[in-house]
Structures are given as C-alpha cells and as structure tokens.
Amino acid sequence: MTMGTSEAHDDLFRSVRELCEAAVGERSIFRLLAEQGQLLFPDEMFADLYSPRGRRSIAPRVMATVMVLQRFEGLSDSEAVDRLHFDLRYKWACGLAYDAPSFDSTLLVDMRARLRNSAAPDRIFEAVLDVAKKANLVGKKRIVDSTALYDAVATQDTVTLVRSAIVGVLRAVDEETATSLRTLLKRDDPYDKSGKPSCAWDDKKAREELVDALTRDAHAILLALHGQALTADVTKATTLLATVVGQDIEAGADGVFRIIRGVAPDRVISTVDPEARHGHKTAARGFDGYKGHIAVDAESEIITATQVTAGNAGDASAAEVLLADVLTSAADTASSETTNDEAKAEVYGDASYGTADLVEELERAGVEPNVKVQPPSAREGMFSQDDFAIDTHAAEVCCPAGVRVSLRVLKDGSSIAEFGASCAECPQRSRCTASKSGRTIRLHPKHATLDRHRKRQRDEAWKKQYRKVRPRVERKIGHLMRRKHGGRRARVRGCERVKHDFALLAASINLARLAALGIRIAPTAMAA
C-alpha cells in the first residue's frame, strides 16, 4: 500500500471552513488542527509506515488527526469514523471537503498496528511535545505521579484461570496434538471454550474435587508437551498454564490439589490479559490493571513523558523513563560548569517515588530532589524510628530511655540494633514494643540518604513550596481521567498497547493545552 497524500479542495472545502471558522472557538483543539494540522502531522512524518507500491491509502495526516480527536473524546473506532462522516468539525480539522468520503474503522486498527511496530510508535506524542518545547513551554522542573488504569477484561478466579489456560493450550496446538492431549484429560469437559465450569459451588467437597481435577488435567498437558519443540504461541500458552497453576494451587499432605491461602506477589489475574495485575494506590483502594505514569512541566503543565507499568509495580520503577530528558539536560548543564541557579532542574513527587536510589540518582545528575521520603511507620502513641538517636558513624543507636546498643551490619547492607533484655524492665516499654525479645531497629542500606531528606522535608519553607507545586500534577491526572476522554478504563490489552494508547491520550491533552494557550506552530521551526 502506497502512502496517500492530502489533497486540496478549495471550492468544496470553503463551506466547511467558513462555517467552522465562524462557529468554533478561537482556542479549540479543532481550530488548531484545522489551521496547522498539516504542519503538525505532515504526511511525510509517516512515510516509513507505508510501502512505495500498492493502492493509495487515506492520507496519514487525516488518520493522525482522527486518532488524536478520537482519544480526546474517548470514542470507539466506529464512533470516530461516524464523527468524521457527520461532524463538520472533524472534516475541518482533517482538511476535508464536506462530501469527502469516510473510511472503514479497521483502518484505525491498522494505523495503530503500523505505529506500534515502527521505530517511533509514539511519534504523535513527540510531535506535539516538540511544539511545546519550541514555544518555550518545557523547562527543567518536573512533577511525577501515577494513576490507576482499570483493565479492559474481567478479573478471573483461580478455577476460571486454570480452565481458561487449558483451553488456551488446546487452541494453540495443532489439531492432531489437541486430539492427542484430550485423550489424557480425565474431567468430563470438552474444554472447547473459556469460562467458569459448572459446579455445586455451595458444596465444599465438590469445589475441592473440581480444583483437583482441573489441576491434574493441567499437569497432564504440561507433562505431555514437556521437552517438545513448540511454536512461540504454544510456548506462550503452556507458560501461562504453568504460571496460573503454580501461583494458586498446591498439593496437600493427602495428595489432593487445593487453592493456596494468600495471594502470590505477582499473580496473573486474567488469561485474556496476562500482563494485568492487582494494584493499590492506597492501602484501602485496590484495582486490577495497570498504572499510568506522567511527568508534567511544573509551570506550563505540559505532559513531558508517559509510562505504563503493571498495577503492582512500584511508582519509582517508572521514574527513569519519566525523567530521562531532565536527567540528561541536568547532567549536561553540570558538565558545562554553569553557576546559574535558575538553570537547576527540580523534580517533585510523592513518597511512592521517594526511594533512596532515585534520590541519589537525581543528586548525581545535579537535579534538586523535592521528592517526599516515607517516614518510619509506627502505631499511634508508639515510638517510631525517628525517636531513636542513630549515629551511623559510631555504629550506635540510643533509645528514648537512654539505652545505647551497637549497630550490626547485615549481608544485604542494612543494619540492625537489638535492645533485647534492656527492654524487660524499661518504664517506657509500653510505648516502644510488645515483642518479648525487645525492640529492634532496622536501618535501610541507604539510611543516611533517606534520613537526610526526611529532615529536609520537615522544613516549613520546603513544605510550602511542595504544597504549592505538587497539586498541579494531580490536576493534570484529573484532566486525563475525565469521563469525556474515556475515563480510567484501559481501551486495549497488554502493557505495550496500553502504553501507546496512554501516550496518545497525553498527546491529545497536550494539544488541547496548546490550543488553550493560543500557541501556533512556526513553519520554519517544524521544517528544521
């Protein structure tokens, strides 16, 4: 398929243009795309996605514009195509005449696949961000935060997981192998479609028998395929089956397979989307799916980077991607031996990003880490670690009662101070520990870094600045998660697909921000 080109329709387009120019607001995303979409998304920007031979496609500029507006308004593929067909604002934004034909919604699927498989899958986001940078809207101050993205599929219980994984293997193998495997299965179950099997769920014995039978069928399949040369799809299916059985089920002393009490740390929650995970934004609020992370310029509130991780991943795991640009620029500034304090980069974030590793990385790059560090936890009315005088140089800890003990360094680099028998007759024991062995203080391997920043964040000036800047990213998260943009529900499956979709959402929000600020694209700048 060859790349299509944007055609001029001066006469036919005039009526669309005149109507929309009079009716659409000056700071509308539609107006910005209509007036400067050709500069923002030139057809040549997508040339690598198309073959020099074949029939001509829909112009890439049109596809990119529809994708941005689709994500901005939280539309399905068919809804987006309908808008292009019936909504004059869409035709105006795409530079099309009123009678220009629409296209099949499958072309949007194809365009996303082309972008995903290309060397620059998030080029639409990068193009919009480039405009913001050239308009001097991106400085060196960043705020980072994350939000829950609910999975696009239902979470499955253990029984459904195992049975669906068995069905997945039988579908992945060839017909001859599937027939052979079915002869090994003992349950009276065709395993022809996914779903929860029938069972007398109120009967504990029936439930146990079902779990045991499913597990034995799963083991029979895995044993039969072990050591064979498998295709990539079959390998993926068997790995998933082994994972869901291993994470949730164990054999009892009587040899019967039962569901394990508790939850595996990295538990697969769906065979439909095996990359989704249980997650928590707070101790009280859990979710199933992914986390969407953003970095925002502290002044303009332009989103400078996005990342998506599994729901159970720590927020700090995304920091390297989110802050790649500011870390690089800060390091370059430091190497140039500048003394300009205004050029110093800053990063703001809540305690979920406040790891010792990130703080030290920021400091090494010359970035001011205004990231909260989690204080030591303690029950109300009890002494926390901060109530102890810790001297790492002397390798000594003094408790509130004045007892001093030595610090002992462990193999992992952490340190421990054990007060032991000293606590037995201590008058403050009730406020310190309920352990029969006495109070124990454990120090992080990088305790000095964490302690230094805990003391820094107690400063009132620091608190005031943090409270001034940090809420801006929460406001931006609120913008992203609005119902009109599609809300918190992931629109696709798999971490990579969710990541690219989240970047496209950020691109649309940034573009709307540029329109609201009255930013226009300089042709010479884009050409450069």
* Averaged pLDDT, 290-316: 95
List own/partner pairs for 14-18 with CB under 8 A and 24 or more apart.
15/98, 16/88, 16/91, 16/92, 16/96, 16/97, 16/98, 17/92
According to the model, what pLDDT value does residue 528 have? 36
Nearest to 150 by CA among 480, 490, 499, 506: 490
Of 221, 128, 226, 192, nearest to 510 by C-alpha is 128
Contacts 24+ apart (CB under 8 A), 362-370: 362/323, 362/327, 365/327, 365/330, 365/331, 365/334, 366/330, 366/331, 366/333, 366/334, 367/323, 367/326, 367/327, 367/330, 368/344, 369/453, 370/346, 370/462, 370/465, 370/466, 370/469
The pLDDT score that the predictor gives to residue 7 is: 63
Q: What is the mean pLDDT of the chain?
A: 90
Amino acid at 328: T
DSSP one-letter string for 49-110? GS-SSSSB-S-HHHHHHHHHHHHHTT--HHHHHHHHHH-HHHHHHHT--TT-----THHHHH
Query: Residue type at 118?
Result: S
What sign results for the dihedral spanned by CA atoms 69, 73, 77, 81? negative
Determine phi and psi for 371, rounding to 5 degrees.
-105, 130
Contact (Cβ atoms closer than 8 angstroms) between residue 369 and residue 362: yes
Q: Which of 19, 35, 33 is nearest to 66 (CA)?
A: 33
Q: What is the pLDDT of residues 93-132, one digit of tens each?
A: 999 988 888 899 999 999 999 999 999 999 999 999 999 9
DSSP symbols for 258-310: EEPSS--TT----SSSTT-EEEESSSS-EEEEEEEEEEEETTT--EEEEEEEE
Inter-CA distances, 478 with 145, 285, 485, Å: 11, 17, 11
Residue 24 has pLDDT above 70, yes or no: yes
Q: So what's the pLDDT on residue 523?
A: 56
Are the beta carbons of 319 and 144 closer than 8 angstroms? Answer: yes
**What are the backbone angles phi and psi of residue 192, rounded to the nearest 5°?**
-95, -15
Residues 6+ apart with CB under 8 A from 513: 132, 300, 301, 302
Which residue in the block uniquely carries the two structure tokens 């690598």? Answer: 48
Closest CA relative to residue 181, chosen from 127, 235, 232, 219 = 219
For residue 325, give the 3-state DSSP assignment: helix
When pLDDT is averaged across residues 323-348 and rounded to a whole number, the result is 73
Residue 203, φ and ψ in degrees, nearest 5: -100, 110
User: 124-138: per-residue pLDDT in tens?
Assistant: 999 999 999 999 999
Nearest Cα neighbor of 439 from 386, 394, 399 is: 399
Q: What is the pLDDT of residues 377-394, one digit of tens each?
A: 778 889 988 899 999 889
- Give the number of other CB atoms < 10 A from CB of residue 403: 15
Handedness of CA 98, 41, 145, 491 (dihedral sign): positive
User: What would the two tokens of residue 111 be?
Assistant: 């365009």
pLDDT surpasses 90 at 323:
yes
184-221 pLDDT, tens per residue? Answer: 999 999 998 888 888 888 899 999 999 999 999 999 99
Q: CA angle at residue 74 from 492 to 472, to 5 degrees?
A: 100
Residue 282 has what pLDDT? 73
Residue 145 has φ and ψ, to the nearest 5°, of: -165, 170
User: Which residue carries 């310190």 as its tokens?
Assistant: 432
What would the two tokens of residue 365 be?
């790059």
Closest CA to 354 of 487, 257, 454: 454
Of the candidate ranges 277-286, 309-318, 356-365, the one whose mean pLDDT is the lowest: 277-286
Instruction: Output the pLDDT for position 526.
Output: 42
Long-range residue pairs from 408-412, CB within 8 A, at least 24 positions apart, any chain: 412/445
**The pLDDT value given to residue 487:** 83
Number of Cβ within 10 Å of residue 462's Cβ equals 15
**Angstrom distance (rounded) from CA 47 to CA 68:** 19
Average pLDDT value for residue range 282-287 = 79
pLDDT of residue 507 exceeding 50: yes
Displacement of CA 159 from its chain's centroid (Å)? 28
**Rounded mean pLDDT, 338-351:** 76
Closest CA to 355 of 390, 315, 323, 308: 315
Which residues are bridge partners to 141 per DSSP?
Answer: 346
